[in-house]
Amino acid sequence: MNFSLASANPLTQDAELGDVLILLAADGLDLGEPLQAGLSLLVKRALAAGHWSTDSGKRLSLYLPESRPAARVELLGIGDGAPARIRDALAKLVKELAVDPLKLAVCFAQDATDAQWTAAMTAIAAGGHVYGTTKPSARGGLKKVLLGAPNAATRKSSLAYGKALVAGMTLAREWANRPGNHATPGMLGDVARHIAAQARKDGGHGQLECEVLEQKQIEKLGMGSFLSVAKGSDEAPRFIVLRYEGADDSQRPLVFVGKGITFDSGGISLKPGAGMDEMKFDMGGAASVLGLFESLRLLRPKINVVGLIPTCENMPSGRALKPGDVVQSMSGQTIEILNTDAEGRLILCDALTYAERFQPQAVVDIATLTGNCVLALGHLRSGLFSTNDVLAHELQRAADESSDLCWRMPMDDVYGKDLKSNFADMANVAGRLAGAISAAKFLERFTGRYPWAHLDIAGTAWDEGAAKGATGRPVPLLLQFALNMAEQPVDFGPSVAQQQSQADKVAAPSRTAKTGKVAKAAPRSKSGKRAG
Ligand code: BES
Ligand code: MN
Ligand code: ZN
């Protein structure tokens, strides 16, 4: 989507804006300054006649006798003007309009804030997007939009932010939408490489680097858990490492880990057939990390960020992982597989161990991890899990600021107690209840060495039904969080392991062993694999 900004107030200046002008009006609309082409009079009449109001989603189509500012004007109420209101009302209208190719202008009738600008831009991008990669007959979609408001000229920075966010969300949406045979682990690796190549072209030498590890290299790292999931598929796994360096290399990076299951059949614990196609979206976490890097490439904030993507298919076959199998993770901890459909945690745990080498300020993993999270929170909010209050607070704040909402879930140790196994250090599933939380408790066992949070996006990464398609979430949340941290770094405090060793100095030394939370601090070999 190509956004351009009107350089002056397009509503009062005599200018042609396109075929259709959408005029966004919030409560308290003041028509003091006359709008061009007698538009003020028309709006006043519609208001007086009660045919239109600024209530959220209220619409009125007007056709103008002369073609300025546009042949057709769509008045659209946005109520109190909250970003969520703008997003819902505008995306719906743009989607309706974008069936035909058209020159569209979208203007705020009143001064608009940064958050309102971004909401409008993401709504236009969502409503104006038509997926065509594997559907050549797809028609419509928007290419170009002119944006305006009374304060448009002062909005260059929100335009840059919105453009970068939209580019990241569009990339995430595109790759999440692609079916498994058009979005293989190898292809995701190529997307990451492409982002890095683009960054080099932009002139940011060495600022955004990408490395794509293949089977042999993943084996050398000792990622036995990740590889056990990939075994059943004919498609080779990849481990993608993206590094963005916007700050001095002494500054510890934020690490984002995205689940990249390009198709989740469930494996030997095969899923039922109905709706199984939606498991092509099981790389939504990976897509959001790729999207974040696309946004970082465009915005170049002063921060260091690492993206890690373990990616493979989860398939049944004669070589596939079986229930009862025990695998060894990169951390050294062994895992008894009780359900091969709980594969997300198996690929993430090795990526979480790999993350240690970056000495991160914080690690956030993003995963379409559990159907249970969808039952708990539906499609509005992602599940947020963390034992670090400061990190949880910052993610929650970024979610609110970007209106890409999440909700913090509990992490009491009791929720993880059923992960015990007689045959391994842990099982990969607990009971039927609170499955989103026990999944988080599983991951927590691999994250003792840094502040960590987990986002379960199973309910938010895609829409179902007639509007089936990826949402581009949670790129807004991740980008907001990264930019907040670039602007005002926050000390997330010590990792659980550091807290533990502090506590061990005063308390009985048996505590660490009892909680079993922290991987044993065994020495590492050169390859990064922990000995023993
Ligand atoms: N990718 C799924 C989670 C999922 C299911 C996301 C439905 C969105 C909609 C994940 O790999 C999975 O299969 N999880 C299982 C875990 C269970 C076996 C403990 C689930 O949620 O049923
Ligand atoms: Mn699964
Ligand atoms: Zn899955």
Dist. CA 225 → ligand 3 center (Å): 14
Calpha distance 477→398 (Å, rounded): 6
pLDDT of residue 228: 99
Q: What residues does ligand 1 touch, defined as CB less than 6 Å away? A: 264, 282, 339, 341-344, 368-372, 374, 429, 435, 458
Provide the pairing of β-strand 70-77 with 18-25.
Answer: parallel
Tens of pLDDT, residues 344-383: 999 999 999 999 999 999 999 999 999 999 999 999 999 9
| Residue 455, helix vs strand vs coil | strand
**Sole residue written with tokens 């290299």:** 217
pLDDT digits (tens, 9 = 90+) for 66-117: 778 888 999 999 999 999 999 999 999 999 999 888 899 999 999 999 999 9
**Is the pLDDT at 519 greater than 50, yes or no?**
no
SS3 label, residue 190: helix
Q: Which atom of ligand 1 is nearest to the CA of 438?
A: 19
Distance CA 38, CA 65 (A): 10
Nearest ligand, CA 278: 1
Give the span between the Cα atoms of 286 and 282, in whole angstroms. Answer: 9
Which residue's CA is the closest to the ligand 1 atom numbered 17? 342
User: Does 247 score more than 60 pLDDT?
Assistant: yes
Residue with CA at minimum distance from ligand 1 atom 13? 341
Distance CA 175, CA 260 (A): 11
Domains present along the chain, CATH in parentheses: 3-154 (3.40.220.10), 208-487 (3.40.630.10)
Give the 3-state secondary structure of residue 171.
Answer: helix
Q: Which residues, by Cβ under 5 Å, contact ligand 2, an ion? A: 264, 341, 343
185 CA to centre of ligand 1 in angstroms: 19
Q: Supply the pTM of this predicted model.
A: 0.94
* Ligand 2 centroid, distance to 266 Cα (angstroms): 5
| Surface-to-core class of residue 32, CB atoms within 10 Å of its CB (0-12 exposed, 13-18 middle, 19+ buried) | exposed
Cα(521) to ligand 1 centroid in Å equals 32
Ligand 1 pocket mutation, candidates 370, 373, 379, criterion most atoms within 8 A of CB? 370
Locate the ligand 1 atom nearest the alpha carbon of residue 435 and give its number.
Answer: 19
- For residue 279, give the ligand 1 atom closest to its CA: 1
Residue 163 makes CB contacts below 8 A (sequence gap 6+) with: 3, 121, 298
Ligand nearest to the CA of 461: 1
Residue nearest to atom 16 of ligand 1 (CA): 342
Place of tokens 């913090």: 408
Give the catalytic positions in this structure: 271, 345
Q: How do residues 182-194 score in pLDDT, each as one tens digit?
A: 999 999 999 999 9
Q: How confident is the model at residue 238 (pLDDT cuts 50, 70, 90)?
A: very high
Question: Ligand 1, from 225, 341, 457: best to mutate by most atoms within 8 Å of Cβ?
Answer: 341
- Find the range with the poorest average confidence among 32-41, 414-423, 425-434, 499-508: 499-508
Distance 180 CA to ligand 2 centre (A): 15
Q: Residue 342: what pLDDT?
A: 98
Residue 521, pLDDT above cutoff 50: no
